[in-house]
Amino acid sequence: MPDREFDIVLFGATGFTGGLTAEYLAQNAPTGCRWALAGRNQTKLEAVRDRLVRINPALADLPLLTADTGDAASLRRVAEAARVVITTVGPYLNYGEPLVAACAAAGTDYVDLTGEPQFVDEMYLKHHDQAVSTGARIVHACGFDSIPHDLGAYFTVQQLPAGSAIAMRGVVQAAAMFSGGTFHSAINQFSSMRESMKVAAARKKKESRPADRKVRGDAGRPRKDSRLGLWLAPLPTIDPKIVIRSARALPAYGPDFSYGHYAGVKRLTTVAAAGVGLGALLGAAQVPPLRKLLLSRVPAGEGPSEAKRARSWFKVTFVAESDGRTVQTEVAGGDPGYSETAKMLAESAMCLAFDDNPETRGQVTTAQAMGENLIDRLVKAGISFTVTHDE
């Protein structure tokens, strides 16, 4: 799209994670990258730009675009001016669709950091076909949800011989404080479980499946993993759904692929406590006054100090078994909820804007749309993808 005014437009830079994404672009966008900030409050946008100038003085004239999720015309102008739009404005079920619609109509690539399965499924049902027709690549979940899991599984598959059945599990460990936006998204998702299941069923009915390969999720059960020395608790997040979609789209995952997704902890009591806590949150989310109280206690748009983020880390271990061979890999990095998520989101946008990626269109995953190119970028940015065992 050489006629577009901007390579990248960041929508939501006045929020906490959006601000970190803007700072990452200020430090890492290549020379000649034409980018801009977009939002509804000009004064706040100017404050963000002032902060960016202290990082990179060349950004004194960084363009600022006025747009609002409630103003379709303003979103259309943003989408038509950009090659790639980044958005950090969530919860996405509340605010996300108008920008997806604008990008799908304009043929503009789109990335976000949502972890909301219902939102992703609704966007597929409503806007995938138009994005296919215009050539737009709609890539959801470009933060900790779900890049380490999606690209980690993709990376692990590359270590195995082609044409073999693969049984894989991903095990997440982290020491971090997750964002208020993530908490709000989770509570809203809990409160609409019935609707979410209905939308997922509609997507399943519409979406095609490979005719000559088996791809399935393994819900699993809590258990001790003797190989890793950890207790495993199934994680019913968006991440395994994204992995399975990549596996269905890419023949490299083999003729028979299964994937299970877990949290890994050292003590069984931690699994039990987490189950009780999750059940309490799920129950409270069904009661409007309690839901409102929960949301008020964890404000969206705020985050921990730089010192706290510096102490945070994540690790996702993948164990894949194929024809008697076992490969173990690891994706690891720093603060998952904020710093690394901002990095992943920005690198995803730059990858779409500047790299020679596979030909895709419509709603696609990071493995489909970018694959090795995005892995290479993330490794250079300090997120590790390594093979730890091969036997």
pLDDT for the residue numbered 270: 62
Token pair 């990071």 is found at 366
Task: Give the span between the Cα atoms of 35 and 7, in whole angstroms.
Answer: 6
3 state DSSP class of 41: coil
Supply the mean pLDDT for the chain.
90
Highest mean pLDDT among 149-158, 235-244, 260-269: 149-158
Give the mean model confidence (pLDDT) for residues 215-226.
91
Distances (CA, A) of 142 to 5, 151, 307: 24, 10, 24
CA distance 15 to 31: 25
> Is 90 exceeded by the pLDDT of residue 282?
no
8 Å CB contact between 141 and 305: no
Neighbours of 276 (CB within 10 A): 10
Domain with residues 6-143+341-373, CATH architecture: 3-Layer(aba) Sandwich (3.40)
Residue 3: what pLDDT?
A: 84
Given a contact cutoff of 8 angstroms between Cβ atoms, the answer to whether 13 and 39 are in contact is: yes
Q: Does residue 288 have a pLDDT over 90? A: no
Residue 257, CB half-sphere, CA atoms under 13 Å: how many? Answer: 26
Of the candidate ranges 7-11, 234-238, 263-267, 323-327, the one whose mean pLDDT is the lowest: 263-267
Mean pLDDT lowest for which of 58-72, 282-296, 366-380?
A: 282-296
pLDDT range class, residue 118, cuts 50, 70, 90: very high
Give CA angle at 84 (83, 88), nearest 5°.
155
Residue with tokens 């290549």: 30
Instruction: For residues 34 and 38, give the distance between their C-alpha atoms in angstroms, rounded to a whole number.
Output: 13
Q: What is the mean pLDDT of residues 86-105?
A: 95
Residues 340, 164: Cα–Cα separation, whole Å: 33
The fold of the 147-336+383-390 domain, in CATH, is Dihydrodipicolinate Reductase; domain 2 (3.30.360)
The Cα–Cα gap between 175 and 150 comes to 20
Phi then psi for 67, rounded to 5 degrees? -155, 155
Q: Which amino acid makes up residue 109?
A: D
**Candidate from 124-138, 281-295, 326-340 with smallest mean pLDDT:** 281-295
pLDDT at 194: 78
Write the pLDDT tens digit of every residue in 175-210: 866 666 666 556 666 556 678 889 999 999 999 899
Task: Supply the pLDDT for residue 219.
Answer: 84
CB 384 within 8 A of CB 333: yes
Q: Where do the domains of the chain lie?
A: 6-143+341-373, 147-336+383-390
- The band of 333, judged by pLDDT with boundaries at 50, 70 and 90, is very high
CA 349 – CA 146 distance, rounded (Å): 15
Q: Residue 90: which pLDDT band, with cuts at 50, 70 and 90?
A: confident
Instruction: Assess whether the previous peptide bond of 91 is cis (omega < 30° from 0).
Output: yes
Q: Is 83 helix (H, G, I), strand (E, B) or coil?
A: strand
Say which residue the tokens 């990008």 belong to: 103
Percent of the chain with pLDDT strictly greater than 90: 75
Confidence of residue 1 (pLDDT cuts 50, 70, 90): low
Q: What pLDDT shows up at residue 154?
A: 98
Residue 248 CB: number of other CB atoms within 10 A?
20
Q: Which of 186-200, 325-339, 358-372 has the lowest mean pLDDT?
A: 186-200
pLDDT level of residue 266 (50, 70, 90 thresholds): confident
Q: How far apart are CA 228 and CA 237, in angstroms?
A: 21
Q: Which two tokens stand for residue 354?
A: 């500047």
Q: Label residue 158 by pLDDT band (50, 70, 90).
A: very high
Q: What is the pLDDT of residue 291?
A: 55
With H, G, I as helix, E, B as strand and everything else as coil, classify residue 109. Answer: strand
Upper half-sphere CA count for residue 135 (Cβ side, 13 Å): 7
Averaged pLDDT for residues 114-139: 97
Pairwise CA distance, residues 329 & 318, whole Å:
5
CA distance 66 to 226: 55
Given this model, what pLDDT does residue 186 score? 62
